[in-house]
Chain A
């Protein structure tokens, strides 16, 4: 019983840690793009990588202050969004999806390539750039603190606090935007671009704005991740993370302000709980060793999440926050 409580506590910490914030911010960005504007961005992780490396390169390589690095990361994300949007947003939705998925993989390979080593340190990545940020913490960051049966380092707590603040501010921004006429145009574009055009709205500009805004959220997520881990390694930014963020969004409910946030928390909770729980069962001999060994657990937990998502889509396709009537409507 104590073991179970412990597993719950560990999973709870995971749901509140910087990884959950990372996925929440990625998913908030995808929510703006996909949930509200109907844009298929399958390379959200590229924006995150630019955010993370924006700080890492600025501080470690160029020696400029941390906050200037943040600006560099955001600017890089904006530029990437513009570059991706300019040629594709006039075309059908599929083309943006193709361009973004290729860009995400291409950028990662570029950042880890030998020729980029002078800037990105290649596969080893950069570290030691978050000192300025951690030093801002109002408490002792070298000490460990115990919260609800889990142990947090002072630095972790500080990153989580600032990260959740970002998530809250981001959600408020999305909330304010989506109840305004601007958000109405965005949602209409998701429903039917041509109808919106025929009513005198410049669809292209709105789609570009949504792509840039979502990309900026992605960059913020990447920054939280880089600062949380204290290092920026290109291979951390696998495009699988984009799809985990999509999973979080669908779990929570697309086109809902809190959908991506709650979805990310639940996703991380399930992943971690499955992990600790399964290991516990194996260690206690409940699951025989020849059926499942503890090395398999890392993979099995994703299968569990997959099965869970399938059940969700069958029995609650609108996600946790979604409106069932809305999802059941034919999109056209």
Chain B
């Protein structure tokens, strides 16, 4: 659907007719011009309705009708999703919700059964992972992939794009790539200093701790000057002190105009840094909205705790939940009591 620049005009039909046409080249540079870009993204997202599939003012990534099944299991079935450029979008959901599979699909590591998805209006379907990465969409992995038997600095240098010395024949003539290598080394050292890994530059990456590997992987991804950074559980297994510094780094990415999409389980982290949160359960997107909207969302609570939980609630919340639950029950009874409909119920009303 064509993304209307004014948030109020954005009607969330959910079943967008044509994805990917929301790219406004004249506005792309807007976020990088140094005038507090994160606020631009937040402002742009502030007035959007909290609906699944809502159109964003300036989407970097648009997903349409993407499904992926493994045998009989539908791992991902996303009708429509837009990711705001220059913002931090958190992707949450219970285990097995399909978050990582969605990441794999978006970055070309897996091919979907149906659907289209695009970055900056350019379709990414049928692209292999390295082509996606060259467009400026880099990812990290849930299980950190540090290249153990390379040094930290070599890990970093691998991330640089357009290296002349990476072609077989030009590699044989050091004169062609030496200057570029030196530039890349300086850039890598800058990044390593920012991530406090510069003292370890000559150590094998395999000797780093889990948290340091996460940092290295993020720094390595940044070597490629990406436009979209996709972080798969960047904080998992990282001690609290390091979490703070990692959070700072993620916010820095936004300041530099990058679009960040991350998967995370720690709700405090999600609340702290995301501009927008997308909740997945059983392969579907069940809710979208700013972080503060998510904890009140019945579908989300049901997805995480089951439909029949009894968590301690405040009186107001209790009333609210009760009203919603009654509504859902009433509707369920009307629709022959489909077992799954309690999860989907609120989503339907939203549309």
Residues of A within 8 A of B (CB): 173, 176-177, 180-185, 187-188, 190-192, 194-203, 209, 325-326, 329-332
How far is B107's CA from A330's CA once the two chains are assembled, in angstroms? 27
| Nearest CB in chain A to that of B138: its residue | A198
- B166, A329: Cβ atoms under 8 Å? no
Which residues between 118 and 170 of chain B lie within 8 Å of chain A, taking CB atoms?
128-131, 133-134, 138-141, 145-150, 154-155, 157-159, 161, 163-168
Q: Known contacts A181-B163, A183-B171; decide if A199 and B206 are in contact (CB<8 Å).
A: no
Known: A185-B158, A191-B150, A198-B139. 11 other contacts (CB 8 A): A181-B164, A188-B150, A188-B158, A191-B148, A198-B107, A199-B133, A200-B133, A201-B158, A202-B130, A203-B130, A325-B204
Main secondary structure of the interface of A (DSSP, over half): helix
Contact for B166 among A173, A176, A201, CB less than 8 A: A201
- B130, A201: Cβ atoms under 8 Å? yes
- B207, A197: Cβ atoms under 8 Å? no
Q: Determine if B220 is an interface residue (Cβ-Cβ < 8 Å).
A: yes
Q: Determine if B174 is an interface residue (Cβ-Cβ < 8 Å).
A: yes
Which 4 pairs across A and B sit closest by C-beta, in order of nearness?
A: A182-B171, A200-B133, A181-B165, A180-B171
B295 shortest CB reach to chain A, Å: 32
- B158, A180: Cβ atoms under 8 Å? no
- B129, A197: Cβ atoms under 8 Å? yes
| Nearest CB in chain B to that of A202: its residue | B130
| Nearest CB in chain B to that of A200: its residue | B133
Given the complex, which residues of B lie within 8 Å of A331, measured CB to CB?
148-149
Given the complex, which residues of B lie within 8 Å of A184, measured CB to CB?
150, 154, 157-158, 166
Q: Known contacts A180-B177, A194-B109, A209-B168; decide if A330 and B154 are in contact (CB<8 Å).
A: no
How far is B172's CA from A176's CA once the two chains are assembled, in angstroms? 6
Q: Determine if B224 is an interface residue (Cβ-Cβ < 8 Å).
A: yes
| Nearest CB in chain B to that of A332: its residue | B148
Write 16 A-B pairs (CB below 8 A) sorted by A numbering: A180-B172, A180-B177, A181-B171, A182-B165, A184-B150, A192-B147, A195-B141, A195-B145, A195-B146, A195-B217, A199-B133, A199-B220, A200-B133, A202-B128, A325-B207, A329-B149
How far is B166's CA from A209's CA once the two chains are assembled, in angstroms? 12
Q: Determine if B79 is an interface residue (Cβ-Cβ < 8 Å).
A: no
- B149, A187: Cβ atoms under 8 Å? yes
Given the complex, which residues of B lie within 8 Å of A187, measured CB to CB?
147, 149-150, 154
A220 shortest CB reach to chain B, Å: 18
Contact for B159 among A173, A190, A199, A203, CB less than 8 A: A199
How far is B109's CA from A265's CA once the two chains are assembled, in angstroms? 44
Contact for A177 among B134, B140, B171, CB less than 8 A: B171
How far is B165's CA from A203's CA once the two chains are assembled, in angstroms? 15
Given the complex, which residues of A lie within 8 Å of B141, measured CB to CB?
194-195, 198
Given the complex, which residues of A lie within 8 Å of B206, measured CB to CB?
329-330
Q: Determine if B299 is an interface residue (Cβ-Cβ < 8 Å).
A: no
- B148, A329: Cβ atoms under 8 Å? yes
- B138, A199: Cβ atoms under 8 Å? yes
| Nearest CB in chain B to that of A197: its residue | B129
Q: Determine if B221 is an interface residue (Cβ-Cβ < 8 Å).
A: yes
Given the complex, which residues of B lie within 8 Å of A197, measured CB to CB?
109, 128-130, 133
- A199, B158: Cβ atoms under 8 Å? yes
| Nearest CB in chain B to that of A192: its residue | B145
B119 shortest CB reach to chain A, Å: 14
How far is B123's CA from A124's CA once the two chains are assembled, in angstroms? 60
How far is B145's CA from A197's CA once the two chains are assembled, in angstroms? 11
Q: Determine if B302 is an interface residue (Cβ-Cβ < 8 Å).
A: no
* Among B141, B149, B221, residue most surrounded by chain A Cβ atoms (within 10 Å): B149
- A200, B130: Cβ atoms under 8 Å? yes
Given the complex, which residues of A lie within 8 Å of B149, measured CB to CB?
187, 190-191, 326, 329, 331
Given the complex, which residues of A lie within 8 Å of B131, measured CB to CB?
200
| Nearest CB in chain A to that of B104: its residue | A194
| Nearest CB in chain B to that of A191: its residue | B147
Chain B 192-219 interface 0/1 with A at a Cβ cutoff of 8 Å (1 = within) = 0000000000001011000000000100
How far is B206's CA from A240's CA once the two chains are assembled, in angstroms? 34
Q: Determine if B181 is an interface residue (Cβ-Cβ < 8 Å).
A: yes
Contact for B165 among A180, A190, A330, CB less than 8 A: A180
A31 shortest CB reach to chain B, Å: 15
